Amino acid sequence: MITGVNVLFFSSDPWRKLKRRIGAEKVLDRAEDRMVYAVDASYTAPPGNHDPEVVVLPESIDDAVEAVRAAAAAGVPVIPRGKGTGMSAGSVPLNGGMVLVTEKLRRIHEVNVNQRWIQCETGLTCEEIKLAAERHRLFYPPDPSSYRISSIGGNIAENAGGLRCVKYGTTKDYVLGLRYITPDGEIVATGALGPPNQPFDLTPLLVGSEGLFGLIVEARLALLPQPKTERTLLAHFNDPYRAIATIHTILPELVPSVLEFMDEAVIRAISGHDPYPFPEGTRAALLIETDGDREVCDREAARIAEILEEQSALEIHAATDKTERERLWDLRRLISPSLSRLADGKMNEDVVVPISRIGDLVRACAEISEHYDVLIPIYGHAGDGNLHLNGMYDRSDPEAGKRAHDAIHACFKTVVEMGGTISGEHGIGASKNDYMDLQFSEDELEVLRSMKTAFDPIGRFNPEKVLPQR
């Protein structure tokens, strides 16, 4: 009879070689360690147990290469993961495999002040990139609400937007070049990091690729001169459509650096989380900021205040110093966590419509909300048409969850009919791939599948994400 001791003695550790090469402390295979990496920040991962077979935390690019090669040798998929702040279940290991975490890849190789770029590994947070730039009086504009905790690698993989995208664009506008690890464990450099005779630049394909093509481990990011000053206003309205009319009045004349919309349900959620004195009767709010030279900022802020008064804003709060400015920004950044006060279930979706259709979308979502009896708070980057729709529901009530899913599906259909897209910055991941046929024809989906196959013929990286299953 074989005893338990003998079974343990003769059992093989499939990751023994990897542990020996990079250090056992970087390879987590105990159940209690692995389970932590079975989820991300999304509410919408497919049901089931998604514990990975192993979790690897490389501390160098060489470690990451060894991990990918070990996964290839073992025949298991690789699921890239940054800080786990994703909202579309993009880093959830749906069928086990290796979760490869980049959070310890934290080297800043160079900040080039004259050419205005920073080159770094992708485990750094967006905030750390910003602070590194600020030390040289430079500015990294992309500003997702999770900037303090989300990794720059995740921002690149999802093409994160943020509050400043109306003026400065999204992450893709700042990625000059990348290094990534292929499914075979080779390092490929693109764009500004690639060889001078490269036949074409793969960088635009990798930004927003959601981990389908490989593991992004290093980036060169463009920086801008730091704005000399900012002027920040929070305007309150008793009518959401008056707030939207204000957006349409501001944008043809001015390009603020921030133009954020919040509806009544969002304001109610914030008020339960923060004692900020919203005026009685507030049903919508706009956070607006302009930046640049002091004289230009003063002139633009004064004109924006005039427009707000013309549009009958209930009250206008203009920040007078950095502390007040941060106070107003904190209200905006509180939105996502504060919505949990309205319900414990949340389908946090991010759609984009032409700016001219924002009012139509808000009106349509109100009708969908009433039809399905589902609260749908709306907020987001109104300056570029990227709004966040949240289907709120009681997680203990399966029928409520089904109504929320049906309501969001109806919102997606409406968005596409308006000429929009079903995601602006959160990505598709495992949460929205079943909705891709709303936006793309089967021929178009086949083109996307062929791109995946060209980079990853056997489907090792992040399988069952983005593309709908046949």
User: For residue 29, what is the domain's CATH number?
Assistant: 3.30.43.10
| In a domain? residue 125 | yes
Residues 193-211: tens digit of each pLDDT: 999 888 889 999 999 999 9
- pLDDT interval class at 80 (50, 70, 90): very high
Instruction: Give yes or no for residue 382 having a pLDDT over 90.
Output: yes
- Dihedral, 45, 47, 52, 58 alpha carbons, nearest 10: 10
Residues 44 and 122 in one domain: no
| In a domain? residue 29 | yes
State pTM to two decimals. 0.93
Residues 180 and 192 in one domain: yes
| In a domain? residue 364 | yes
Residues 117 and 133 in one domain: yes
Residues 143 and 164 in one domain: yes
Residues 307 and 207 in one domain: no
Which phi and psi (to 5°) does residue 338 adopt?
Answer: -70, -20
pLDDT top residue among 3 and 214: 214
Give the span between the Cα atoms of 125 and 141, in whole angstroms.
Answer: 14
| In a domain? residue 208 | yes
Q: What's the whole-number average pLDDT of the chain? A: 94
pLDDT of residue 273: 86
Residues 279 and 196 in one domain: no
- pLDDT interval class at 3 (50, 70, 90): very low
Residues 212 and 235 in one domain: no
Q: Which domain holds residue 82?
A: 15-101
CATH number, domain with residue 151 = 3.30.465.10
Instruction: Give yes or no for residue 270 having a pLDDT over 60.
Output: yes
Taking alpha carbons only, the member of 34, 37, 38 closest to residue 50 is: 38
| In a domain? residue 456 | no
pLDDT of residue 46: 80
DSSP per-residue string spanning 164-203: THHHH--GGGGEEEEEEE-TTS-EEE-GGGS-TT-SS--H
Instruction: Give yes or no for residue 448 having a pLDDT over 70.
Output: yes
Residues 215 and 279 in one domain: no
- pLDDT interval class at 378 (50, 70, 90): very high
Instruction: Give yes or no for residue 275 having a pLDDT over 80.
Output: yes
Residues 315 and 360 in one domain: no
Residues 359 and 425 in one domain: yes
Q: How many folded domains does the chain comprise?
A: 4
| In a domain? residue 4 | no
The tokens of 431 are what?
A: 């949460």
Helix (H, G, I), strand (E, B) or coil at 347: strand
Q: Can you name the residues that pair with 99 across neighbouring β-strands?
A: 55, 79
| In a domain? residue 403 | yes
- pLDDT interval class at 469 (50, 70, 90): confident
| In a domain? residue 134 | yes
Residues 116 and 33 in one domain: no
- Tell me if 70 sits within 8 A of 114, measured CB to CB: no
The tokens of 147 are what?
A: 């900037």
Give the span between the Cα atoms of 438 and 171, in whole angstroms.
Answer: 26
Domain boundary among 81, 101, 121: 101
